[in-house]
Structure 1
Amino acid sequence: MNDTLLEVKGLKKYFPIKQGFLRRVVGHVRAVDGVDLTIKRGETFAIVGESGCGKSTTGRTILRLEEPTEGEVIFHHSELGPVNVEKADSKTLRRIRPEMQIIFQDPFSSLDSRMTVGRIIAEPMIINNTLSGRALKDRVAELLTVVGLRPEHASRYPHAFSGGQRQRIGIARALALNPKLIVCDEPVSALDVSVQAQVLNLLEDLQERFDLTYLFISHDLSVVEHIADRVAVMYVGRVVEVASTDELFYNPKMPYTEALLSALPKPDPRNRVRPTVLSGEVPSPANPPSGCYFHPRCPYAQEICKKETPQLRDVGGNHLAACHFADQLQLKGATPLTEVPAPPVLSTPTTQEATQ
């Protein structure tokens, strides 16, 4: 069996800018601007970046919740083989959609408040005519148990649950059709930190139990470091670096990645090094700069960066970077936990010293 589950080639999603009484198109917002990704079966592939960089739109366009402007999305279906999602007709989409599901960012608005939890989880199976009657009720009870809730919760409405519990309901709904790929669109960003850890651990347990593949979208590098096998960094609609999690965190090749990593909390509280503050503002995806999109804010930019767009290339060890000087720069990564100095060892006082 092919180890690759999803291939994304040159994916673009442009939103038209309309002005005037006749609503004429005067430009485009380049939300996704030529993204290339390859996701293997059973791995957690993360996309990180600042808000507005296009990572959520990338996930939605891969699932064709947004129609792509250009590019290919090839999903390796268990029965149909490689399927071009962007060209699939409604009949083919109906075949492949059960294997491609999504967990939404907001557990409050992603659940219909007028439907019981049981109905919410059962809806995908009802629409796809997979189960009915007693078998459907048993499957709903099973899914609730799998995500850490009780079967009797099926008769309640979403408002009766906390944010973490609602996200568990959303996860149960995503699991209903036995998917192969789940797009996790910032699934813990709306939750308290203590609840985040519980949901992340649940996702890891479910991945091992059901052989799931995750496309994990997040702006929180601490979360990504915990859960991801490989990471792609996005900037203004483009992927600028891809590597294994350890390689990217501790040996970045792209200046933008270095700046992101510098903002991570340090394991040693005595380390007072300030994060790298980038000059300027994030460019508008409606009017990006020429050459490298990052060059107006990059402290290492040269003249070539203003004129030529760097291609995403392998700089060694399957580490991809879109930077003209990726082979030359010595960038600083995150601080490894092994570098935290040990606390001073205090000798145990003798009985005579203790009584003085």
Structure 2
Amino acid sequence: MTDQVQTAEPLLEVVDLKKFFPIRRGYFKRVVGHVKAVDNLSFYIMEGETLGLVGESGCGKTTAGRSILRAINPTSGSVFFRDPHLGRVDVAQLDDEKLRVVRRSMRMIFQDPYASLNPRMTLLDIVGAPLRAMNIAHGSELEDRVAEMLRRVGLRPEYMRRYPHAFSGGQRQRIGLARALAPNPKFVVCDEPVSALDVSVQAQILNLLQDLQEDLGLTYLFVAHDLSVVAHISDRVAVMYVGKMVEMAETRELYTNPMHPYTEALMSAIPLPDPRPRQKRVLLTGEVASPANPPSGCYFHPRCSYAVDLCRTREPELEEVKPGHFVKCHRARELSLTGVSEILARQ
């Protein structure tokens, strides 16, 4: 985790971001509804910090990351980014020419190191692709830049003539890191970059990400479902449920003092190495709400043991209950929930 932020203005600010996918049926493919993958998502990330974005599979984490980078176009909302070339811009509203400029500073590391690399391209082609596409380097200069990036991620420069099949999963993820960082970005979306790797390799990649962040001044949005990993690398953590933000706080505060019942349930599922008895596991009943047909009121109320009538009829607002601690729950101020301080003790 990085030191405290140096500037007062966020590097990235997401405001009311939405991404809806249309549901089409019938012969004429008429739109009969929408899958609300990301719904009114708002948060900020300061320069040099790491924000962890967590939640169950299908909650909209990856869609949010791709919408921020305009890998897919958001339905509505704003993504304000402090670009070194253009200044503060709304990425969601940029034309193609300015978007190409901004993409030098906003990059993505993908989840699957096997599917994200073209097997017919050498490392020189893979890592050098963004440098060519953005007209940053060509010829011998490009080879020098690729060699330097390979060294930074722990690979030997002479590997640049080899193909991805010659490398292990951990090495392939290092290649993905080199490709993402080749244009010298300021902001990187890490889309579950270690979930497909062995545990020992996960630690190596996480440590590499932290070293690169310190050396290159990077800012991360770290998307993951493993809360142990998120605790290790994040300065703050945001929790998503069915496309909506339900809680966000500084890492230690969130893990030791969760204020949303969904966050408490996630914390209770973290495996701990201590064989001694621990707090009772919070088991959620029922199914995850459908983003195509969410329930009324709070989306989490059908699975929440603390729900009252108000939760079933009115959706709560995301409020700052304590300084820097945002919660979307009607009962946040009255509930006393259990965290997992043991995880932080091992960091």
* Structure 2 length-normalised TM: 0.96
Residue 349 of structure 1 is matched in structure 2 by: none
- Aligned with 1:233 (options 219, 231, 239): 239
Residue 344 of structure 1 is matched in structure 2 by: none
The answer as to whether partners of 1:266 and 1:335 remain within 8 angstroms in 2 is no
Q: SS at the partner of 2:290?
A: coil
- Aligned with 2:251 (options 245, 248, 256): 245
Residue 21 of structure 2 is matched in structure 1 by: 15
Q: In the TM superposition, what is the alpha-carbon distance from 1:80 to its structure 2 partner?
A: 1.4
Residue 173 of structure 1 is matched in structure 2 by: 179
The answer as to whether partners of 1:167 and 1:187 remain within 8 angstroms in 2 is yes
Residue 11 of structure 2 is matched in structure 1 by: 5
Q: SS at the partner of 1:296?
A: helix
Residue 199 of structure 1 is matched in structure 2 by: 205
Q: Say whether 1:319 aligns with 2:325.
A: yes
Residue 302 of structure 2 is matched in structure 1 by: 296
Q: In the TM superposition, what is the alpha-carbon distance from 1:317 to its structure 2 partner?
A: 1.9
CA deviation digits over 1:317-342, x for unaligned, max 9?
A: 210000011111000001436999xx
The answer as to whether partners of 1:295 and 1:305 remain within 8 angstroms in 2 is yes
CA deviation digits over 1:217-272, x for unaligned, max 9?
A: 00000000000000000000000000000000000000000000001123421225
Count of aligned positions? 340
Q: Say whether 1:45 aligns with 2:51.
A: yes
Residue 56 of structure 1 is matched in structure 2 by: 62
Q: Say whether 1:143 aligns with 2:166.
A: no
Residue 214 of structure 2 is matched in structure 1 by: 208
Distance 1:27 1:137 in 2: 50
The answer as to whether partners of 2:252 and 2:344 remain within 8 angstroms in 1 is no
Q: In the TM superposition, what is the alpha-carbon distance from 1:70 to its structure 2 partner?
A: 1.0
Q: Give the aligned residue type for 2:213.
A: Q
Q: SS at the partner of 2:303?
A: coil
Q: Give the aligned residue type for 2:256.
A: Y
Residue 188 of structure 2 is matched in structure 1 by: 182
Q: SS at the partner of 1:189?
A: coil
Q: SS at the partner of 2:196?
A: coil
Q: SS at the partner of 2:18?
A: strand
Residue 315 of structure 2 is matched in structure 1 by: 309
CA deviation digits over 1:294-331, x for unaligned, max 9?
A: 01111110111011111111011210000011111000
Q: Give the aligned residue type for 1:141.
A: A
Q: Say whether 1:119 aligns with 2:125.
A: yes
Q: 1:133 to 1:338 in 2, by over 3 A?
A: closer
Q: Say whether 1:131 aligns with 2:137.
A: yes
Distance 1:300 1:103 in 2: 38
Q: 1:4 to 1:337 in 2, by over 3 A?
A: closer
* Structure 1 length-normalised TM: 0.93
Q: SS at the partner of 2:103?
A: helix
Distance 2:197 2:343 in 1: 26
Q: Give the aligned residue type for 2:34.
A: H
Distance 2:174 2:28 in 1: 46
Residue 114 of structure 2 is matched in structure 1 by: 108
CA deviation digits over 1:117-159, x for unaligned, max 9?
A: 1110001011111111211111111000000000011000000
Q: 1:339 to 1:125 in 2, by over 3 A?
A: closer
Distance 2:106 2:55 in 1: 23
Residue 353 of structure 1 is matched in structure 2 by: none
Distance 2:134 2:65 in 1: 23
The answer as to whether partners of 1:116 and 1:156 remain within 8 angstroms in 2 is yes
The answer as to whether partners of 1:53 and 1:235 remain within 8 angstroms in 2 is yes
Structure 1: unaligned runs, 5 residues or longer: 341-356
Q: SS at the partner of 1:74?
A: strand
Identity %: 59
Q: In the TM superposition, what is the alpha-carbon distance from 1:3 to its structure 2 partner?
A: 3.5
C-alpha RMSD over aligned residues: 1.3
The answer as to whether partners of 1:114 and 1:157 remain within 8 angstroms in 2 is yes
Larger Cα Rg: Structure 1 or Structure 2? 1
Q: Give the aligned residue type for 1:175.
A: L
Q: SS at the partner of 1:336?
A: helix
Residue 157 of structure 1 is matched in structure 2 by: 163
Q: 1:288 to 1:336 in 2, by over 3 A?
A: same
Distance 1:82 1:46 in 2: 23
Distance 2:344 2:180 in 1: 38
Residue 38 of structure 2 is matched in structure 1 by: 32
